[in-house]
Structure 1
Amino acid sequence: MTKRRKEFEVYEKANDDEAATSRFEIADEFNLEETVIAKKKADQLALIDSLLEGADEITIGVVRTFLNHPKPTATAIAKELGVHHSKVIRTLNRLAGKFSTKQHGDFRDYLVAL
């Protein structure tokens, strides 16, 4: 059976690397990585907006500072806002308490691809 199969199967090997890759060119300028990152970022911002519903100005300030800070630590955010670092920690913990896995799913899904 294997002898007969070998008689009919023809395998072609491309000698030139360029010839082998030319068949797999992507026709359009679609970039999957950029699309996924943009979608994740939009999902994250939507989640943050939903968690900030009915929040006070300090909480909104903490979140905005956290998002815009290059190294967002509680101390750095507190210095920038002029509040004690424990207030920043309590604010972030209060926001984390509002997160519902039933409504939003697993929080790790929002942390991917950033």
Structure 2
Amino acid sequence: MPEVIATLCRENGNPARGGLRGALHPARAAVRGGLAAHPHGRVTDPQPGRMAMSIRQPIGVAGIVVPWNSPAYLCIRALAPALAAGCTAVVKMPGQAAMTAALMGEILASVPELPREW
């Protein structure tokens, strides 16, 4: 965790406290929410007489282009639902965040539940 915070601070200019609270905690919430929290989908009533349904099923490749201003959070926020649905994802990280991209690649490569086929 200290390496992640140091990388975020170095590349994005976040203060150490802001780097943790401003990027990592919301990223954790993004992973725990959405499709990851509802593995079989969910049904909601947005208004009386209407029904909205989300179903977890892979439908293709997610193309994710990450902006430079908060690369860790914005990447995770887009990548988590795609992976939770079982989709393949292609991520284009910003050139200004090369160390963050490398660190995120290492972290994702260490997750045993993710497939190893390239």
For the superposition of Structure 1 and Structure 2, which TM-score range results when normalised by the shorter chain? under 0.3
* TM norm structure 2: 0.26
Higher helix share: 1
Higher strand share: 2
